[in-house]
Structure 1
Amino acid sequence: MELRLTGVGHRYGDREVLRGIDLEIPAGQIVCIVGPSGCGKSTLLRMMGGLEQPDRGEIAQIGAVPDGCLNPLTYIFQDFALLPWRSVAGNVSLVLEDHDIAKAEADAMIRDVLARTRLTEFADALPRQLSGGMKQRVAIARALVVKPAVMLMDEPLSALDSQTRELLMDDLIRLWTRTPFTAVYVTHNLAEAVRLGHRIVVLSRRPGEIREVVTLDKPLGARGYGDADLEARQKHLWEVMRAEAAAADAELLGA
């Protein structure tokens, strides 16, 4: 399944947040969305997931969902959103409990996704026993277990230290390489965008409009820390965003 946005715009009261967004999210790609603070990145993601409706334009789901898909659109948030009284396996099983799945099948699905996210030995651990990176790995496992058509990821690594972010990016690349998934990944971190994105969408300051779409052809598995090409792409993105980011910060301070 793909997402197609046509002429999408949105406002809160008299404040225009997004304007004229035309964008396609192809199946099997990770599309990163970057832009200055307050440019509407998270609002755009919420509209893709149906949590808000655009004032103008259309967001369409094109094509069939994957075999076995239980939730076409699934979120991964910055704050993990784990239930503290449930184990790792219990948090993952939560999203299966509203579906008519036999216990044996559900248990097999949980074992599979815990193995893929390297959480098998932590299946019985509680969230308070886990590091931030491990908690986010549980959130990723919970999203993957429903075999979503599109994962909507709202700054999922921003609360983590730099070392943990690197490890989680490696995890996401490994997971995508094994079984390609479709994702929209909102981030303010340009290094994350060039490591993970097949395409990077650069929004202007508010009202957010698409300034540029950068395509990265290098395979995810061939990208790594210190990659000169990725550093050049990151520098280009910052050059596109620099003036707008400074103006956006000045507007937010004056708001």
Structure 2
Amino acid sequence: MSKVSVLDIVKMKCFTSLKWNIFCFQIFILLLFSGLLQSCSETANVQIRLPAKELYQKAMVAVEDEFYQEALKNFEILVDEHSGTRLATLAHLKMGEVYFLQSKWEESETSYRRFLLLNPRSHLTPYVLNRLIALNYERNIYGLFAKSRDYDRNMEPNRTLIREYQRFYLLFPQSPYLADVKEYQKGALADLAEHELHVANYYFDNEAYHSAIGRYLYLLKNYPGFPRTGDVAERLIEAYRLNQQPELADEIQKILKSLRERKLLAQLTTREE
């Protein structure tokens, strides 16, 4: 068995110590490099993040130039990065406006209501409620281009509009927007009445006289200002006769004659062809 000299032992210890020092140095360099990378990354993030005012201005310029997607992108960044600020809250209102311009009614309504939720006492509340009413009026256009399908048209936006009008009238009876809101409400009522008439006529034309009678009566009861009340009453009389209810037909005939003699009908028109 060979003997290891003292010199060999010293050399081995020195070599081991050198390897350890190199390893420690490598670890130190790695940690230092990692720290520098993280620091640079954080610095880059700070540099990329734009102030709320600048984001808002960029979005508004994009709106003016009709670059709506770019505007929405900046508003969304503003909301995400500066949540809780005045401009972030206002961004919800502006997004509602942009979606309105794009006829994206659901997104527009969500943004408007989000603004009201975050800022319930804003001086802009009457304006936003006015926009919600206008929105529901505008989005209820199905059937305007397909009258043959008007009987199954969705009328919920009009019902929502009327509820919003009632709320608006109670909260802001002196608002300068009240006149506009009133016009939307009148339009919604007229639209609902027309819808009832289309549904009633649909039943009538398909000889479902009992259902038609119910619709005609509902229309006369709930929409007394409908301009074609006389036409509706005449159709109701005819439906009663075809449904083998002559007594009720005669009774409605007498009432209609009395109203016409006293000029109490909203408007006398010829029967709808």
> 1 or 2, which has the higher helix percentage?
2
Look at both structures and tell me which one has the larger radius of gyration over its CA atoms. 2
- Provide the TM-score with structure 1 as the length reference: 0.25
TM superposition score normalised by structure 2: 0.23
The higher relative CO (CA closer than 8 Å, separation ≥ 6) is in 1
